[in-house]
Amino acid sequence: MRNIRLCLFDVTIWVLVVYLTLHLPTIEMRVDDLEQPAPRQHQPPASTQKPEPANQSNLNLGKCFHMPRSQCPPERGTCAKVSAASVFCCDLDSVSLKEALSNTMTQNTTHLHVLNATIDELDVSQAVFRRLVSMALTDGDIGKIVGQFPKYSSLACLNISNNNLTSSKLQPSIQRPFAYLFNLRVLDASGNNLTEFPLSLVHSNRNISVDLSGNKYLPCKHFQKAMYETNNSSLVTFLNYNQTYCALDLEFNWFKDVQIVQIDHLRVQKELNASCRRMEPENINCTCILERLELVGEEVINLVAVDCSQRHLKNMPTNLPPNTVKLNVSYNNVSGFFLYTLQPWLQENFKNIPDYKGLECEDNMGPVVELIESRVCHTPRDWTDYIYYIIGLEVLVLVLLISKVSYDYWVFKTAGYLPWPANKMPRLPCDWLCE
């Protein structure tokens, strides 16, 4: 009897397990349906055929999901599904955008384009943006971007072009909206008023295409850091390269100015590295970087800084790259190089160096071209330096002795007696020679 009860209990347990296995997915789907907000009105089907959203090949070409204005929903200020995975919105404000997205976006939505949105604050931490792969907010007016994209976001393409954005709106000092976009491959921030390069995105993404055309006041030094001073600089691709400009800080004597130049002027690091390897002595592995840009006439010159510190050098490095303006040879064993290497070179090439006298030493020692050896080279004193003083003293004593003897002789001849010092001196065996 006991065995029969145990058998019935086991059968009951197995039936319950099978029932839950078959009905649990249906229960989860119903719960998900309850969590989705009900649409307030049904969007009528569009009369024209909508194109499919951008795929991965388009992302590789630097293109996010983008729709023309002619494909806007018939009702102004609404959103419409372009396909099962894409949504297109037009002419929205902060309130209507939130409402329209809640009505149209589902868990399957991965592509979003919002055209001509006037938004005071765009909170990118909203859950509605969590599953997006392509997000575009273009041709609008965004007051400020706040919050942060969720961690491990799948966003691969972000288009925020033509939104009157400034750097203070794009990247506030307290929050970093794009800190967790490790999968981002395309950033289109063209047609704004940015004054800072989004270096954090470049550092956190090993392969990214950036479009910053139309932002003419981005400092050129930020582009230099992105191109040359980051480990992944060779993987940064600039879209619309010929239409991308930067602001060049110019220094001429005591005056400062800003010149807008094309970023192609910055792509010289490869040639600079080759020139750096040709320096002598060989294999000293000095570091050559672009110090700054300078406008000479109508030509932009790249000025170079060379760092040869802590290289165990015994001689001054030669064959420096063209336009070298800074050379660091600290913490080496170089001696006398200014007078024997650099100074003759300056004296030979001063016609080609308009400001050759501007190359000065520290401690107010004056221009290198006018240095004197005794002011630069300090050697320890040798005992041979004092021999000249000893010889001089001996000559002086000899002159005094001859003068004294001559005076005593003159007194003896004229007065007939010797002066008191000479008279008190003891007689010597050699005195008979004088008698």
> Is 251 in the same domain as 284?
no
Is-contact 188 161, C-beta < 8 A? Answer: yes
Pairwise CA distance, residues 141 & 139, whole Å: 7
Last residue in a domain, options 204, 239, 261: 261
Q: Which domain holds residue 402?
A: 383-433
Q: What is the mean pLDDT of each run of 10 residues along the chain (435 residues)?
A: 55 66 47 38 39 47 84 90 94 92 92 94 88 95 87 90 82 64 91 83 75 89 72 70 83 60 76 87 87 76 88 87 86 68 73 71 75 67 74 92 84 77 66 59
Residue 405 forms part of a structural domain: yes
The structure tokens listed for 290 are 């672009």
* Mean pLDDT taken over the chain: 77
**pTM of the predicted structure, to 2 decimals:** 0.56
Is-contact 250 292, C-beta < 8 A? Answer: no
> Is 189 in the same domain as 228?
yes
Would the CA dihedral through 118, 122, 127, 130 be positive or negative? positive
Tokens 């000095």, located at residue: 286
Pairwise CA distance, residues 236 & 186, whole Å: 10
> Is 133 in the same domain as 178?
yes
pLDDT of residue 171: 53
Whichever domain contains 237, its CATH number is 3.80.10
Last residue in a domain, options 203, 234, 261: 261
Cβ atoms < 10 Å from Cβ of 115: 20
Residue 164 forms part of a structural domain: yes
DSSP SS3 for 121 = strand
The string of DSSP codes covering 196-252 is S--HHHHHH-SSEEEE-TT-TTSBHHHHHHHHHSSTTGGGEEETTGGG-EEEEEEEE
Q: Which helix (H) or strand (E) holds 374?
A: helix 373-376
Cβ atoms < 10 Å from Cβ of 200: 14
Pairwise CA distance, residues 412 & 406, whole Å: 10
pLDDT of residue 177: 75
Cβ atoms < 10 Å from Cβ of 192: 21
Residue 333 forms part of a structural domain: yes
The structure tokens listed for 356 are 């050759």
Residue 65 forms part of a structural domain: yes
Pairwise CA distance, residues 139 & 66, whole Å: 12
> Is 336 in the same domain as 423?
no
SS3 annotation, 33-102 = HHHCCCCCCCCCCCCCCCCCCCCHHHHHCCCCCCCCHHHCCCCCCCEEEEECCEEEEEEEEHHHHHHHHH
> Is 90 in the same domain as 114?
yes
> Is 219 in the same domain as 322?
no
> Is 167 in the same domain as 210?
yes
Rg (CA), the chain: 43
Beta bridge partners of 136: 113, 159
What 116-120 contacts at long range (C-beta under 8 Å, 24+ apart), as own/partner pairs, is 116/69, 116/90, 116/91, 116/92, 116/140, 117/89, 117/91, 117/92, 117/93, 117/141, 117/142, 118/92, 118/93, 118/94, 119/92, 119/93, 119/94, 119/143, 120/94, 120/144
Last residue in a domain, options 345, 360, 376: 376
Q: Which helix (H) or strand (E) holds 410?
A: helix 387-415
Peptide bond into 281 cis (omega under 30): yes
Cβ atoms < 10 Å from Cβ of 103: 17
Residue 171 forms part of a structural domain: yes
Burial 51-78 (b: 16+ CB within 10 A, else e): eebbeeebbeebbbbbbeeebbbeeebb
> Is 236 in the same domain as 344?
no
Residue 40 forms part of a structural domain: no
Residue 36 forms part of a structural domain: no
> Is 303 in the same domain as 393?
no
Residue 2 forms part of a structural domain: no
Pairwise CA distance, residues 30 & 132, whole Å: 23
> Is 282 in the same domain as 221?
no
How many domains does the chain divide into? 3
pLDDT of residue 347: 77
pLDDT of residue 405: 81
> Is 139 in the same domain as 104?
yes
> Is 190 in the same domain as 210?
yes
